[in-house]
Amino acid sequence: MSRGDAAADPERAPVGPAVRRVSDWDADLLASLAATHDTPLYVTDLDRVRENVRRLARAFPDAHRMYAAKANTGQAVLRTVLDEGLPIECAAADEVRRAVEAGADPDSLQYTAVNPPDRDLDAIVDLWADHPGMRVTAGAVDTLDRLADRGFAGDLLLRVNPGEVGGPHESFAVGPDAQFGIPVPRAVETARAVREAYPFDLVGLHAHGASGMAGDLTHPDAARRLGAVAREVGGVDVVDVGGGFAVPYREDEAALDLDALARETRAALAETGVDTRLAVEPGRYVVADASLILTRVNTRKETPGPTVVGVDASLATLMRPSLLGSYHPVRNVTAPDREPDRVTVGGPVCTSTDTLCENRPIPRPERGDLLAVGIAGAYGMELANEFHSQPLPAEVAVEDGETRVVRERRTVDDLLTREHP
């Protein structure tokens, strides 16, 4: 079956297991990539991205499915999801630019504004003028005013805050005081005001799916609450419940039952009695388990507590553990059969928060060992930074049994060329 056939008929396309664990990656391949391209190194399996897109198509065959680009805007990833027939949702004007550069038809894009700077709205309205099929999502009356002032008169989705549907970390919470949308009690009157006082065509309602939620509760609740608003407003074509589908980062966590989630979400929307199309826009679910990070051990220090293992990856390579306390599995690629040792793995950044894991049992890491940090495809490279003047790492893609560099390693010279004394 060709890729084009697979995209057209996801029911016949292979999808693989529901989650790809870090232990599932071929050790010889990882060792070869590290030796060839140095570390730290992102490795992205584009075939896995395709499988995840196809799994979504099977679970939500009648929904409008989009890929939330904020999870991973790498050109190779964007081209892959586009090749699978998945349109792209963008949260910033520069993400729109990256999507178009990857081959997206601007008329197929959805732009979801979050406290947008003037330059973002200027760019989006300019692009919409030539591509009126592009849709815009707004979650504040002020944003509606600023869009109208710029002459936008296209399809609009109103972002509604569905209520207390927060995630496992306070940074993911979506509650009544969050910045993601109009609170439900004001949603109907705001939607009616859009119809009466603005030049837009109100085509849908949108909710921010809280990242990390066990979606069996979150998405049906969002669908039910948005459906109720849509029923009162009338004439709404689509209810978009966002993304945030759960990904099992821990080895003992079960994979999300996506089919069950889809059934429950559709049923919840149907309960409201509205004749609207369901839309979903996962990002993390598509890419999280498609990437890992390879890093080399450089230091081993015995302490009264867990052994400290130093590696060349850091919070500049993967921010999520330091920023959010997120768990990422760590595998000793070099020596998986050694006796486990309780270790804290940290990088070369001079701050106590530069740890990839703490007090974790890992087959005894020794200097020179290659470690793999798994489930790194979502918000990994996107949050990478240049703290301590560490250049951004390279990225290698694996596809159809071949490998290629899709993001070149930065150098200090690259950093310095952007600065002037």
CB distance 380 to 356 below 8 Å = no
- Whether the pTM exceeds 0.85: the reply is yes
Among 372, 408, 370, 379, which residue's Cα sits nearest to residue 391? 408
User: 406 φ, ψ to 5°?
Assistant: -110, -10
pLDDT score at 174: 40
pLDDT score at 15: 81
Helix or strand or coil: residue 415?
A: helix
What sign has the CA pseudo-torsion 295, 297, 301, 304?
A: positive
Residues of the chain with pLDDT under 70: 1-12, 163-180, 209-217
CB distance 357 to 344 below 8 Å = yes
Q: Which domains, ranges and CATH numbers included, belong to the chain?
A: 105-282 (3.20.20.10), 289-416 (2.40.37.10)
pLDDT score at 113: 87
The one-letter code for the residue type at 29 is L
Tell me the pLDDT tens digit for each residue of 350-397: 999 999 999 999 999 999 999 999 999 999 999 999 999 999 999 999
Cis before 176 (ω within 30):
no
Token pair 């936008």 in the structure block, residue: 152
* 330 bridge partner residues: 373
What sign has the CA pseudo-torsion 399, 69, 191, 229?
A: positive
* 291 bridge partner residues: 44
pLDDT score at 217: 43
Tell me the pLDDT tens digit for each residue of 33-54: 999 999 999 999 999 999 999 9
Pairing of strands 307-311, 340-346: parallel
Q: Residue 155: CB partners within 8 Å, gap ≥ 6?
A: 133, 134, 135, 136, 200, 201, 203, 204
Q: Which of 350, 368, 401, 419 is catalytic?
A: 350
Active site annotation includes 350: yes
Question: What torsion do the CA atoms of 202, 204, 207, 208 make, to the nearest 10 degrees?
Answer: -80
